[in-house]
Amino acid sequence: MTEPAPAASADPRRTEGLHPLHPHLDALSTLELAQTFASDQLDAVQAVRRAAPQLARAADAALPRLARGGRLLYAGAGTSGRLGVLDASELPPTFSWPPERALAVIAGGERAIRQATEGAEDDEAAGRQAIAGLQPAPDDVLIAVAASGTTPWVLGAVAAARAAGALTVGLANNPLTPLLTATDCPVLLDTGPELISGSTRLKAGTAQKIALNTLSSTLMVRLGKVYGNLMVDLRAGNAKLEARALRLVMHATGAAEGVARAALSEAGGQVKVAVVSLRLGVGVPEAQRRLEAAGGHARAALGEGEWGL
């Protein structure tokens, strides 16, 4: 008599579990699939909302380091790594954050951004080397992302950053995993099982994207890159951004289009400088001096209050 095959051992990671609500996912209609996948993403939003205190703690720990000139470093594999690359890439055009201060590494190297290199994530030594190659320093902040929380390459990156004295932030979608215990500021994004079992590009990836947006945007606001809710550290580099910069200056100052355009031109396209110049009725050099004295915070430069780190 044939012996039954031994049962596979259960994986304790929730992201690897079987979703209990849709065992017949493949039998749903196209509309039902679209509705089901979209609704499941709500779990990602809730996971980040629960993690808000952890994200705030990470931001508060990172702020003084970044204010002293530290860099944001990102490390991840697969989807997590690509999301880190995306976040790092968007900070310079959005907030005029220096590109050399937002660096991302991904398991498998640049090729892995567009082509899956699944085996690369198992190489812990390569993760160490990738971060060591960036020459991390104590004022740097590493944001390490791994849905499983167990990825060897990411854990190697964390080890190298910690050895250099850098602050480490870990984003993982499973509780009690090595990434959360190895980092200074652990952030749990508990999204549970995926609709397609183990496909963490779904709501686990969505939660990571929201968390990265939340963390980096919080940092940029606290660093003075925003006035009110206006993106005043924007530097116009194309027609769309030039039009956006003009609208921002007009909104922040109440100036007519021609006046705002002239101020923006004199300020070299720097929205924040143009706003301070127009609001205070001073020239661009004086506006720049006041912003520098205020640590780059437009509100403080305008005498509307200070925002310390």
Give catalytic residues, as residue numbers.
90, 121
Instruction: Check: CB of residue 106 under 8 Å from CB of residue 84.
Output: yes
Instruction: Check: CB of residue 267 under 8 Å from CB of residue 273.
Output: yes
Q: What is the secondary structure of 181-199 as a DSSP string?
A: HHSSEEEE----S-SSTT-
Strand 185-188 relative to strand 102-106, pairing: unpaired
- Using only C-alpha atoms, what is the Rg of the chain? 23
Instruction: Check: CB of residue 211 under 8 Å from CB of residue 171.
Output: yes
Alpha helices in 9-114 (DSSP H): 30-40, 42-50, 52-67, 78-95
Size of the chain, expressed as the number of residues it contains: 309
Instruction: Check: CB of residue 146 under 8 Å from CB of residue 180.
Output: no
Q: Which of 80, 63, 81 is nearest to 72 (CA)?
A: 63
Distance (Å) of CA 121 to CA 76, 79, 156, 187: 8, 11, 10, 20
Buried b (16+ CB within 10 A) or exposed e, 235-269: bbeeeebeeebbebbbebbebeeeebbebbeebeb
Distance (Å) of CA 140 to CA 52, 165, 222, 281: 22, 8, 17, 38
